[in-house]
Amino acid sequence: MPTTRPLKASDKVSNPIVSGELAGLIEALDWSSTSIGPIASWPAVVRMTIRIMLASAMPMCLLIGRKGVMIYNDAYRDIAGGRHPDCLGTSVFDSWPEVAEFNHVVMERVFSGETLTFEDQELVLLRNGRPERVWLELDYSPLLDDDGEAVGALALLSETTKRVRAERALARSEERLSLALEASGIVGTWELDVTSRLVTADARFAEMFGVEVADAEQGISDDTFLRRVHPADRDLVLRKTEEAIATRGGLRTEYRLIDGDGGIRWVLATGRFFGNALGGNPRLPGVVIDITERKAVEAALAASEAGFRTLADTMPQMVWSTRPDGHHDYYNARWYEFTGVPQGSTDGEAWNGMFHPDDQDRAWELWRHSLATGEPYQIEYRLRHASGEYRWTLGRALPIRNEAGEIIRWFGTCTDIHETKLVAEEREVVAHELSHRIKNIFSVLNGIISLSARSYPDIKPLADELRQRISAMGKAHDFVRPHSQASRPQGNQSSLRALVELLLAPHVGEVPGRFAFNGDDATIDDGAATPLALLFHELATNAAKYGALAEADGRVVIDAARAGDQFHIVWRETGGAPVSGPPPGEGFGSRLITLSVQGQLGGRLERRWLRDGLEVEIVVPACQLDRSTTLRR
């Protein structure tokens, strides 16, 4: 860096009337240690330009020689920042390394005779120890000596960073405002001069109201805008406007516009009165929002709501609805007719008080479970009738979900099942009595057989088998007869698997692995239960006497599968005594099996005496297992 030395009279370049820090620094600097030499050796144009530059209030910098040795005035100090005063007398490329490439291009062009101007030139400069984006207006002119050769470049600089940032911030703000207006559905802005009754508006407002944009921006009579308002709504718009002015308050009104093609669009106009305490006319500025789509949706929802309420009120069931949190906010007319309570009195959680005290906790627990899990709600409870009587009711509810799977509403019904409940209870009593009588008949038959066997000892084996078959029929009967909640046995009494497990239980005991049921289960009715019970009773009895279940390691496996409209069952025995072939002759049990499958179930049966044990394949029409399914179809 150049050093200072004692001043010499011949070295002065500043005008005696020019004062300032830079004038003193320039004269004190040892220029002989720089590439441009002492001041006395400088061309006259350089010394003269420096005097002019030091007297100027505009930031200026003289770049001497192709290395661009810097000499600048006091106004340039703010631009130099922390580089001042060290950059005085140094190369511009060294002092401003971050923009060296830009300066190389400038110096090359200026020394070739060009004059350059840059408006709002964006540069990244190191300021306060970190990069900073700035904008400058730059003018570069070549400095020519007496021979017309360029000896330097004179730069006039003006930082425009604040202005550019302000303009860009304003542009971004206007963009955001425009986006906000579009997103909010705002069509345009307007302002009414209360005194002159002139309305000024933007282009979008003018287009909607069918007026010229230039006229709207200049100001046009409010009567002109009113021409586009639907005739039935004009008085409303005028009245609301005058009310806002009279009360010095806000304006909010919805009305219809008629477009150039005769179409109708709904708009919402909002505004607020502003007086002017400093003089001038009071005004009413505002915006207009296009609400046509909203109005269409509202109309569709209103029609849908009316249709739903009409449908709900004509249904025999009580219909109700809740918010996602379970808050009841709708009941149809049937609910109030049934309960006799005032409308709205059972909103929220008050509905639970309508239940029988013994049912309230159970209903609450199940309802909370459905709300927490989203599972359907179904329960039977006693609901208080308008007469004061508690009547049995079936309550059901399902959730309504949005596209994201979130529950947005619950809809439910209450169905009066009191008479059905009483009939079911009476039917259970009758069924229980009939079942009891049938069991008595089976007991009498078993007694008759036992007495006969005593009289004729030779038929005792036959009598024992007959009693066992009658016992199997009794189990089948009890398995499929109608049951109440109290009398229903554990497990599914209409399941093929459950029936087989019941019949084989006495033969396999609780030893694991002795029996397995694999594959499809099937629903069976009372018509199929008896032949199936006789079939599996005979197979199990024979296996216990002669087959796999007669051995400790014996095993019975049943594979069941539905194939189309046929149901396949394979009984397979393993681990028993080796089988040499079919027994001689066909006994009564074999004939009974064949009769059960072919005669009563309409199927076919095939026996295979394999070395590992008996295998029986049964194929029956699936519809024969549960005739009620066929009837329902």
Q: Which pLDDT does position 5 carry in this prediction?
A: 42
In this model, does residue 486 exceed pLDDT 90?
A: no
Which of 315-329, 488-502, 528-542, 618-632 has the largest mean confidence?
A: 315-329
Residues of the chain above pLDDT 70, percent: 81
| Total residue length of the chain | 633
pLDDT, one tens digit per residue, over 20-29 is: 899 999 999 9
Q: Which amino acid is at 514?
A: R
Distance of CA 217 to the CA centre of its chain: 44
Region 44-57 average pLDDT: 92
In this model, does residue 460 exceed pLDDT 90?
A: no
> What's the CATH architecture for 492-633?
2-Layer Sandwich (3.30)
C-alpha to C-alpha distance for 626 and 624, rounded to whole angstroms: 6
Q: Which pLDDT does position 418 carry in this prediction?
A: 86
Give the sheet arrangement for strand 613-621, strand by strand.
515-519, 555-563, 566-574, 613-621, 604-610
C-alpha to C-alpha distance for 2 and 20, rounded to whole angstroms: 20
**Contacts for 525-529: CB closer than 8 Å, 24+ residues apart:** 525/480, 525/494, 525/625, 525/626, 525/627, 525/628, 526/477, 526/480, 526/481, 527/624, 527/627, 528/601, 528/624, 528/625, 528/626, 528/627, 529/476, 529/477, 529/479, 529/480, 529/499
Q: Which pLDDT does position 599 carry in this prediction?
A: 83
CB 265 within 8 A of CB 238: no
Region 506-532 average pLDDT: 82
Region 154-178 average pLDDT: 84
In terms of Cα–Cα distance, which of 552, 524, 559, 555 is closest to 540? 555
Question: In the CATH scheme, what is the code of domain 185-296?
Answer: 3.30.450.20
**Contacts for 296-304: CB closer than 8 Å, 24+ residues apart:** none
Which residues share a beta bridge with 156? 60, 139
CB 142 within 8 A of CB 155: no
Region 189-207 average pLDDT: 87
Q: Which pLDDT does position 493 carry in this prediction?
A: 60
Region 435-440 average pLDDT: 59
Region 103-116 average pLDDT: 95
What class, spelled out in words, does domain 316-409 have in CATH? alpha beta
Q: Which pLDDT does position 223 carry in this prediction?
A: 86
Domains 9-165 and 185-296 share a fold: yes
Only one residue has tokens 């003269």, namely 48
Name the band, by pLDDT with cuts 50, 70 and 90, for residue 107. Answer: very high
Q: CA-based angle 311:313:318, to the nearest 5?
A: 110
DSSP 416-466: E-HHHHHHHHHHHHHHHHHHHHHHHHHHHHHHHHHHHHHH-GGGHHHHHHH
Average pLDDT, the chain: 82
pLDDT, one tens digit per residue, over 601-620 is: 899 999 898 888 889 999 99
In this model, does residue 431 exceed pLDDT 70?
A: no
Query: Dihedral of the CA atoms 18, 21, 24, 27 (nearest 10)?
Result: -90
More confident residue, 222 or 390: 390
Region 102-116 average pLDDT: 95
Region 8-22 average pLDDT: 57
In this model, does residue 137 exceed pLDDT 60?
A: yes
In this model, does residue 434 exceed pLDDT 60?
A: no
CB 384 within 8 A of CB 341: no
pLDDT, one tens digit per residue, over 266-282 is: 988 889 998 865 556 78
Q: Which pLDDT does position 179 carry in this prediction?
A: 63
Only one residue has tokens 């586009």, namely 228
In this model, does residue 518 exceed pLDDT 90?
A: yes
List all residues 6 or more positions away from 356 whose beta carbon is below 8 Å from its beta carbon. Answer: 381, 382, 383, 384, 390
H/E stretch holding 392: strand 390-401
Region 154-169 average pLDDT: 90
What is the C-alpha radius of gyration for the chain, rounded to an integer number of angstroms? Answer: 52
Residues of the chain above pLDDT 90, percent: 36
Q: For domain 9-165, is the CATH number 3.30.450.20? A: yes
In this model, does residue 410 exceed pLDDT 50?
A: yes
Query: Domain spans of the chain?
Result: 9-165, 185-296, 316-409, 417-489, 492-633
Which residues share a beta bridge with 83? none
C-alpha to C-alpha distance for 275 and 559, rounded to whole angstroms: 92
CB 553 within 8 A of CB 480: no
Name the band, by pLDDT with cuts 50, 70 and 90, for residue 633. Answer: very low
Phi/psi for 66 (5° steps) reads -70, -15
CB 257 within 8 A of CB 267: yes
In 425-459, which positions are buried (b, 16+ CB within 10 angstroms) versus exposed (e)? eeebeebbeebeeeeeebeeebeebeeebeeeeee
Name the band, by pLDDT with cuts 50, 70 and 90, for residue 438. Answer: low
pLDDT, one tens digit per residue, over 211-237 is: 888 888 888 888 888 888 999 999 999
In terms of Cα–Cα distance, which of 611, 498, 604 is closest to 558? 498
**Contacts for 488-494: CB closer than 8 Å, 24+ residues apart:** 494/523, 494/524, 494/525, 494/626
